[in-house]
Amino acid sequence: MTIDRLLPTQEAEDLLALTREIADKELAPRVDKHEREELYPEGLFRTLGEAGLLGLPYPEEYDGGGQPYEVYLQVIEELAARWAAVAVATSVHTMSAYALMTYGTEEQRQRWAPGILGGGMVGGYSLSEPQAGSDAAALTCKAVREAAGYRITGSKAWITHGGKADFYTLFARTSAGSRGISCFLAPGATEGLTFGRPEEKMGLHAIPTTAAHWDGALIEADRLIGSEGQGLQIALSALDSGRLGIAACATGVAQAALDAAVAYANERTAFGRKIIDHQGLGFVLADMAAAVDSARATYLDAARRRDAGRPYSRQASVAKLIATDAAMKVTTDAVQVYGGYGYTRDFPVERYMREAKIMQIFEGTNQIQRLVISRRLSRP
């Protein structure tokens, strides 16, 4: 169904209409085959970039879309309702551009932003390590300063678009302690950088997730973003925005599951009536709808605070927590609505359920979101 959205401008209305058109034409017809066969959608991100969908929340002067976050996130939701893996990768790309656009120098933005925001490049985010997931301060990948630049040695993990991205926002240790982490805009094609075999995941099959191995790779000194030791601050700031992207992805998947369940419940009959007319099932669908509406409301509240320049870190964690838990519940209920058919690959609801699970985990597990929320509550 087409969501009745409250958008701030006519331009935003037109952008959402364009997004739905592209999603229906380019994403929906391809998703089943690509997810089932684990095929990367070659050329698709260039199509999204040419449509202006890869730089939406960044300034137009750098080839961005100049859109508020509340509009950008609703674009992400529409993409996710058709193809979650593509929406997640788009969200990660946007988060990967954040360090450059927020902490980079004007010279750095002029040099790299047009390619990143204009659709010529796709980015990955390289923070996690095998032993440093939720505890980002524990990372050990090293960046040693030399005359020619920084020599990077170590391994990173769980990189969306690993081996496919044109650049990676990389976090590496330049000195000891939590203030010893620095941020780099690293080229995807770098001598000494290799990638592991794509992870065999439960869902999001079309976009690879890999480890990266830096074997003394040299990157130029001017690819340092911000100052040495500022990396953890940059990473955590970027994650606030990234969590909103995942909340929007989760809402899109939940909406798709709800739409499928409602359509099926209107077609299937039992005991002489459509199954939607049986109160027990009608109430399940009502709860699903309420969960989707609530998820959307929480991420939009956080986005509007961000757009207004107000603190939104707690609200971002609330949105990520509420939306991803809702997606898990709604997609599970959608499988239940379909009965035995829902457990087969003949219908998309089993895929939605698998896709929803990871959204409770990445960009900070939902246990970490509860920790963030509780700590914000205890502050005076």
How far does CA 43 lie from the centroid of its chain? 19
pLDDT surpassing 80 at residue 52: yes
pLDDT surpassing 90 at residue 378: no
CB atoms within 10 A of CB 334: 31
CB environment 176-186: b (16+ within 10 A), e (fewer): eeeebbbbbbb
Name the 3-class secondary structure at 45: helix
As a whole-number percent, the residues of the chain with pLDDT over 70 amount to 99
Token duo for residue 218: 């040299």
**More confidently predicted of 65 and 135:** 65
Q: What average pLDDT does range 73-93 have in this prediction?
A: 98
pLDDT, tens digit (0-9, with 9 covering 90-100), for 299-347: 999 999 999 999 999 999 999 999 999 999 999 999 999 999 999 999 9
pLDDT-based confidence at residue 379 (cuts at 50, 70, 90): low
CB atoms within 10 A of CB 368: 19
Q: Which secondary-structure segment (H or E) carries 183?
A: strand 181-187
Q: Which of 70, 78, 350, 363 is catalytic?
A: 363
pTM: 0.96
pLDDT, tens digit (0-9, with 9 covering 90-100), for 132-185: 777 888 899 999 999 999 999 999 999 999 999 999 999 999 999 889 999 999
pLDDT, tens digit (0-9, with 9 covering 90-100), for 252-309: 999 999 999 999 999 998 898 998 889 889 999 999 999 999 999 999 999 999 999 9
pLDDT surpassing 80 at residue 246: yes
Query: Rounded to 5 degrees, what are φ and ψ at 325?
Result: -65, -40
Catalytic: 363? yes
Mean pLDDT (the chain) is 95
- Tell me what pLDDT residue 1 has: 67
Query: Rounded to 5 degrees, what are φ and ψ at 321?
Result: -65, -55
pLDDT-based confidence at residue 225 (cuts at 50, 70, 90): very high
- Tell me what pLDDT residue 231 has: 96
- Tell me what pLDDT residue 264 has: 95
Alpha-carbon gap, residue 155 to 342, rounded angstroms: 39
